[in-house]
Chain A
Amino acid sequence: GGIITQTPKFLIGQEGQKLTLKCQQNFNHDTMYWYRQDSGKGLRLIYYSITENDLQKGDLSEGYDASREKKSSFSLTVTSAQKNEMAVFLCASRGFANSDYTFGSGTRLLVI
């Protein structure tokens, strides 16, 4: 079986700092996603990538950059951390259209 790994599990940064979250999957899935989950709220799509070197903006892309240099990895950068974006960031992957998402366990971001 495969696994999707997010690092770090917890990330503490200062306001205004640039912070990077990483996601690795060994399913050989083509498509990968970054979602933001605010406490008690649903999932909001930040970026997704259909294949290596592809990037597509989601509904919440402002303030974030993403990078997909390899098929197996997808990084998300918070360009200038703000206190109002403390949340859990979830990475997911899927193999083909209409298939299931597999999620990582998340990176919890705390901005001080």
Chain B
Amino acid sequence: GDSVTQTEGQVALSEEDFLTIHCNYSASGYPTLFWYVQYPGEGPQLLFRASRDKEKGSSRGFEATYDKGTTSFHLRKASVQESDSAVYYCALSPYTGNYKYVFGAGTRLKVIA
């Protein structure tokens, strides 16, 4: 079945560090890929999405490029801030229009000022 694997556990960085959270997927065709962010006490909210090979999604300084060749959608940010501390989820919506997303396990980002 379809699956999403992302950087496990917690990532701890200092302010202005470069961030990479890895996301690899397994699915047939061209799934739509998403990054969601969840701040404490809130539900996850969409960061951005991408639907085609080489399409770049971006928002709030975060970006990721859909790469069908490596089946990846890695999240990057050049300079993180303390306010970026949150849990990040990579997810896919299968090409077949299945009603269910497949979520990764989530990666907790802690940025130290």
Contact = CB atoms under 8 A, between A and B. Distances in A.
Q: Do A and B originate from a single complex?
A: yes
Interface of A: 31, 33, 40-43, 45, 48, 50, 56, 58, 90, 92, 97-98, 100-101, 103-106
Contact of A48 (B49, B100, B105, B106): B100
Interface residues of B, number: 23
Nearest to B95: A98
A77 to B, nearest CB: 20
A42 B89 CA distance: 8
A106 B97 CA distance: 26
Given A41-B106, A97-B98, A105 B46 contact: no
Interface in B35-74: 36, 41-46, 49, 51
Contacts of A100: 34, 46, 49
Interface of B is mostly: loop
B34 A48 contact: no
Given A43-B44, A100-B34, A106-B43, 8 more contacts: A33-B100, A42-B104, A56-B99, A101-B36, A101-B101, A103-B43, A104-B43, A106-B41
B41 A105 contact: yes
Contact of B99 (A42, A50, A104, A105): A50
